[in-house]
Amino acid sequence: MSDLPRKAVTRTAKLAALPLGFAGRATWGLGKRIGGKSAEIVAREVQQRTADQLFKVLGELKGGAMKLGQALSVFESALPEDVAGPYRAALTKLQEAAPPMPTRTVHGVLAERLGEDWRELFTEFEDQPSAAASIGQVHRAVWHDGRDVAVKVQYPGAGEALLSDLTQLSRFARLLGPLVPGMDIKPLITELRDRVSEELDYELEARAQREHAAEFEDDPDVVIPGVLHQSDQVLVTEWIEGIPLSEVIADGTAEQRDRAGQLLARFLFSGPARTGLLHADPHPGNFRLLPPAGVPADGTEEPAAGDGRWRLGVLDFGTVDRLPGGLPGIIGDALRMTLEGDADAVYAMLREAGFVKESIELEPDAVLAYLLPIIEPAQADEFTFTRSWLRSQAARIADPRSPAHQLGKQLNLPPSYLLIHRVTLSTIGVLCQLGATVRLRDELESWLPGFLPEYEPDEAGADERTTDGNSAQDDTPVEV
């Protein structure tokens, strides 16, 4: 048996205790204030205790609880600094580690899925996991042909745990609202729940990873580990060394931060254009910064001239959005028209695509004023993503007194854009955690359909709309 708490009643009891804990700490805080402590000091103590309990429970339960914690972790940059501090350490713990399965459980899964002689497939196998995720954990090993590999083993009962957690969490989603000002947590939980079956299916994950690995083979910037073996509950892929992005966020050099940010933005926009798939789980635990030739994997030395550049290693393809034509052209069109200040055209396009419902009437100029600050990174040749910039955007949209808040409540997010929206926001959150200076406009011009103006077809009738030769995609349905 796994140590994953599988019984719904056990998991529900742990999660249901969270709101009671929140209420108890509020009462405790009031008592402290009456006792003479300042409101500011008490508030920090309450936030620290809240973070400790919340993420301790999420990490222990793994499953959907941990999945939500990872999804929220990339948004800590949006919190006011005096609030973010107590949460930051607890949030980032969920990106790389969680309590491991007992060794006997791991061996049992491997014997069941790979056969009783599973050890013959490996010349070495480390029983201590190197990383843990929401539905499984990763062990380092050496494949029978001598290659270093990562062996991903799914927790027994993971599917039941995921569904149970997310159902329970949705019942008190409003209590999690203060973690990310301006963000409605409930749709995020619903979308995570809808993806459960895909993430549990290692065959789908292996297929998506193989497609990426084939497309990015020998790419100078992005490394995708190849898939060596896949079966129910077990996935064996090539091992890649590198610095976890969480460590770059905590201690990276300016060069590492900027390079990681540039490559993360490049992968976000180039992946769908090149593979028809969008990697949909962009938390820092799924990325590694790979050093140039001649530099140790821990990045303790700076590269010598001519040794190359840092590369981005990408892991975990359990959640992807299938976009056969790449990102929808309306995204690039709307971005370009917004930057051009064409309020009427932007508004008409958003109405046609369902972002503004037929029953709603808005002022085009007000919509433009709402969008322009959000897309500021696309206006300049390069932009420095900072926590303060993200906090200002979150505060603008979250403040009930602001015109942006009132207008935002009237906008609609069509279901087919939900995952694209979440991935984009999550990636921006990571860029702000990195504090990276990124040439975002370069990536948009290279990979986003519609961002560059349309050109007149040449005499042969060729459509030169995009830099990679793809034709317009506005009418391509988005498959989710």
pLDDT of residue 343: 97
Positions in the chain whose pLDDT score sits under 50: 1-9, 19-43, 95-97, 304-307, 455-480
Are 187 and 205 members of one domain?
no
In angstroms, the Cα distances linking 184 to 66, 87, 471 are 18, 19, 35
Are 87 and 114 members of one domain?
no
* 163 within a domain of the structure (yes/no): no
Are 436 and 304 members of one domain?
yes
* 185 within a domain of the structure (yes/no): yes
Backbone angles phi, psi at 23, to 5 degrees: -65, -40
DSSP H/E element including 311: strand 311-314
pLDDT of residue 332: 96
pLDDT of residue 80: 58
Are 431 and 337 members of one domain?
yes
* 354 within a domain of the structure (yes/no): yes
In angstroms, the Cα distances linking 212 to 78, 270, 333, 415 are 31, 11, 26, 25
How do 320-322 and 277-279 pair as beta strands?
Answer: antiparallel
| Residue 184 CB-density burial (10 A; 0-12 exposed, 13-18 middle, 19+ buried) | exposed
* 444 within a domain of the structure (yes/no): yes
Q: Which has the closest alpha carbon to 402: 389, 393, 411? A: 393
Are 233 and 246 members of one domain?
no
Look at phi and psi of residue 341 and say left if phi exceeds 0, alpha if psi is from -120 to 50, else beta.
left
Confirm if 300 and 294 have CB atoms less than 8 A apart. no
Domain that residue 130 falls in: 103-158+198-238
Are 142 and 54 members of one domain?
no
Quote the CA–CA distance of 296 and 313 in Å, as a whole number: 15
Place of tokens 């990873």: 209
In angstroms, the Cα distances linking 462 to 16, 396, 450, 452, 473 are 60, 44, 16, 16, 15
Residue spans of beta strands (DSSP E) within 178-286: 222-223, 227-231, 234-238, 243-244, 277-279
pLDDT of residue 156: 84
Are 308 and 420 members of one domain?
yes
Q: Which has the closest alpha carbon to 440: 428, 453, 454, 450? A: 428
* 425 within a domain of the structure (yes/no): yes
* 2 within a domain of the structure (yes/no): no
Confirm if 9 and 55 have CB atoms less than 8 A apart. no
pLDDT of residue 100: 74
What CATH number should be reported for the domain holding residue 225?
A: 3.30.200.20
Are 370 and 479 members of one domain?
yes
- Domains held by the chain: number: 3
Are 305 and 227 members of one domain?
no
pLDDT of residue 5: 46
* 461 within a domain of the structure (yes/no): yes
* 164 within a domain of the structure (yes/no): no
Confirm if 451 and 332 have CB atoms less than 8 A apart. yes
| Residue 62 CB-density burial (10 A; 0-12 exposed, 13-18 middle, 19+ buried) | buried
In angstroms, the Cα distances linking 368 to 85, 344, 362, 373, 401 are 34, 9, 11, 9, 19
Confirm if 288 and 243 have CB atoms less than 8 A apart. yes
Are 217 and 176 members of one domain?
no
Are 255 and 148 members of one domain?
no
Are 85 and 69 members of one domain?
yes
3-state percent helix, strand, coil for the chain, nearest multiple of 5: 55, 10, 35
